[in-house]
Structure 1
Amino acid sequence: MKTLLASLPVILGASLIHCTPTSLRPIRTPAPRSPEHPFNASIRPLVLWHGLGDSANSEGMQAFAQLVRDVHPGLFVHSIYLEHTEDADQKAGWFGNIWEQLGIVSAQLSSIAELDDGFDAIGFSQGGQFLRAYVEKYNKPPVFNLITFGSQHMGVADLPVCRPGDLFCLLARSIARRGVYSTHAQTHLIQAQYFRDHARLQLYYKQNKFLTSINGEVEETRNETFKKNLLDLGNFVMILFDQDTTVVPKESSWFGSYVPPEDGDRKGPRWGEEVLPMREQPLYKEDWIGLRKLDETGRVTMITCEGEHMHISRECYLPIVEQYVGKVMEADSINGGLVSSQGGLIIQH
């Protein structure tokens, strides 16, 4: 497996993970420390959160975890799960209330002794913005480096296209078509909770309770704790896939979004519209969530990887994993957590 994956992309994500007869096997929690399989307690552990249509214990997630361990022998890796079987865990990526799921995740991470002193975190696709939400709302135990691959930090302007036979996806799209901003969709359909229609922003601000909150888009619900916790990050690394057609627009992976149409003009095409980049977003310019300060203090890194959504090549992941994962923990930090010495690799800043 190691030899094969060294030359082929790691493929993770909604449209590329297929249900198999193994989908009913139980999710595996991290193995206990033992002399035969010791964890290196001197390096920061790693937490993974899978993407849409995937599960914590899928072959792709296991393969990626092993690739990271090959780079950092002895690294403790935990893959977040919401349910105890792969089939149910996959379904939880489509249906549920994100805030309730985050409460489950917070309790899960707090129960793992190896994570008590903090960890680095990698989120794949929607798992990336969910990990950011964990940082903002909880962050105990704390995240040091947050790395997101193809995530939707400014939401999506379209829902994922379903592959033939993907029942969860087809059902989710059917519900969304009946009213993505209905109360039911906004509390039961995961993708609806980060659906940001740039032609209906006022309705989005009124009905959405997840993305508007973690992005500070509604003044009445802005949370200084969310901002403070995000500013406790050591590094925030965002990866965009240059051929991504799953995330609409793909620049959402870097906090980009479509420029809203002029009042009353809702006839423009969704594809090929002008994108407002991160540094021109109101949330950045007015620093609603601390993103601007993170950037101005050199802790935001924006990386482009070649390929489609969640096709992660060795050339993409290796320098990121070498730079931002598996560093030696030290008993000092800017935020009472942990720090490590890191080199000067900046792919795009």
Structure 2
Amino acid sequence: MEKLKFLIIFITLYCVVSEDNNENTPVVFWHGMGDSCCFPFSLGKLKKLIESELNHTVYVKSLEIGGSLVRDYESSYFIHPQKQIQDACDQIKRDPILSNRTFNAIGFSQGSQFLRALIQKCPAVKVKNLITVGGQHQGVYGLPNCPSLTEKSCEYLRQILNFAAYAGWVQNFLVQATYWHDPMNEDAYKAKSTFLAEINNEKTVNNDYINRLQTLEKFVMIKFANDTIVQPVETSWFGFYKPGSSSELQTLEESEIFLKDRLGLKKMKEDGKIVFLSTEGNHMQINLKWFTENVINNYLRD
């Protein structure tokens, strides 16, 4: 009888260990502007794709900011990124699966720079691969399209950003103002940006931000080759306009952030941690076959 009990315990433990070994690293999503955590036609579709491709052995969490679907949607326009990041940090610390495990992180559009900021600012977060899809790592200078808003509302937002992006009340009121980057007025951007300039270490250098990014295995940046929404599209690869120009572009490697190594990206590139990918299509037009071959198969399978 004792031998039988021992055998049952051994088999049970073996099965548990085997099951754990077959589990893939968890995945965390952060949606973009005008989207939400759980819309079935956007992130919900990608969640199902990842679960299916990984044989349902992966935990996928799509961050819901504010505690409800409506509040989550509104947050993409009207909740300051710093508050959103604190909310996301608290969610992960409370999550029984994510709180003590490394996970892969995928940011979509503005969720890209929010997830990167989460890694930099939240010590509880342990990310293996950061994958950003159509992100705006050096900000935007132009707002040609506003998904899910009326044409009149879009025009209103454009006018605010063009003429008052760095006013204190606009920075506090409108999320997109916090990563508005005016290359014609770099001093105002660095002084008054309440989010992007801070997380890009353009105000002062926070070494914790550098050290936490160094823990990544890969930092994958995906650009949409035909993107007409994000201006300039090079911001998805951490490039931007040259200071003083609204037309001449520079790559990440030509930027002050890289040359002065404000975020440790130079070392990450030298270590082979930075990956640039490009896919056809306009902003957030994700080809599922391409996503499977280039993202799931290369960075989400253990």
Q: TM-score, normalised by structure 1?
A: 0.76
Identify, as 1 or 2, the structure richer in helix.
2
Aligned residues: 279
**Structure 1 residues 168 and 240: alpha-carbon distance in aligned structure 2, compared to 1, 3 A threshold:** same
For residue 164 of structure 2, give the secondary structure of its aligned residue in structure 1.
Answer: coil
Tell me, yes or no, if structure 1 residue 113 matches structure 2 residue 88: no
Aligned twin of 2:49: 67
1:184 to 169, 176, 179: 169
Tell me, yes or no, if structure 1 residue 240 matches structure 2 residue 215: no
For residue 71 of structure 2, give the secondary structure of its aligned residue in structure 1.
Answer: helix
Aligned twin of 2:80: 97
Aligned twin of 2:266: 292
Instruction: Give, as a single letter, the amino acid of the residue that structure 2 aligns with 1:294.
Output: M
Question: For structure 2, which runs of at least 5 residues remain unmatched after alignment?
Answer: 1-18
What stretches of structure 1 move > 4 A for 4+ residues in a row? 38-41, 166-171
1:130 to 110, 114, 132: 114
Could you tell me how far apart the structure 2 residues matched to 1:161 and 1:42 are?
40
Aligned twin of 1:265: none
Aligned twin of 2:5: none
For residue 36 of structure 2, give the secondary structure of its aligned residue in structure 1.
Answer: coil
1:13-24 alignment, distance < 5 Å: none
**Structure 1 residues 99 and 87: alpha-carbon distance in aligned structure 2, compared to 1, 3 A threshold:** same
Could you tell me how far apart the structure 2 residues matched to 1:81 and 1:121 are?
14
Could you tell me how far apart the structure 1 residues matched to 2:192 and 2:24 are?
42
Aligned twin of 2:13: none
Shift of 1:165: 2.3
Could you tell me how far apart the structure 1 residues matched to 2:58 and 2:106 are?
14
Shift of 1:205: 1.0
Tell me, yes or no, if structure 1 residue 304 matches structure 2 residue 278: yes
Tell me, yes or no, if structure 1 residue 198 matches structure 2 residue 183: yes
Could you tell me how far apart the structure 2 residues matched to 1:315 and 1:194 are?
31
For residue 89 of structure 1, give the secondary structure of its aligned residue in structure 2.
Answer: helix
2:299 to 321, 324, 336: 324
Tell me, yes or no, if structure 1 residue 216 matches structure 2 residue 188: no
Identity in percent: 34
Could you tell me how far apart the structure 2 residues matched to 1:167 and 1:87 are?
21
Alpha carbons 1:46, 1:120 under 8 Å: kept: yes
Let me know the Cα RMSD of the aligned residues: 2.0
**Structure 1 residues 76 and 173: alpha-carbon distance in aligned structure 2, compared to 1, 3 A threshold:** same
Question: For structure 1, which runs of at least 5 residues remain unmatched after alignment?
Answer: 1-37, 262-267, 328-349
For residue 155 of structure 1, give the secondary structure of its aligned residue in structure 2.
Answer: coil
Could you tell me how far apart the structure 2 residues matched to 1:290 and 1:212 are?
15
Alpha carbons 2:23, 2:58 under 8 Å: kept: no
Specify the structure having the higher radius of gyration (Cα).
Answer: 2
**Structure 1 residues 139 and 41: alpha-carbon distance in aligned structure 2, compared to 1, 3 A threshold:** farther
Alpha carbons 2:118, 2:125 under 8 Å: kept: no
1:52 to 5, 10, 33: 33
Aligned twin of 1:157: 141
Could you tell me how far apart the structure 2 residues matched to 1:325 and 1:178 are?
42
Could you tell me how far apart the structure 2 residues matched to 1:85 and 1:226 are?
30
Q: TM-score, normalised by structure 2?
A: 0.87
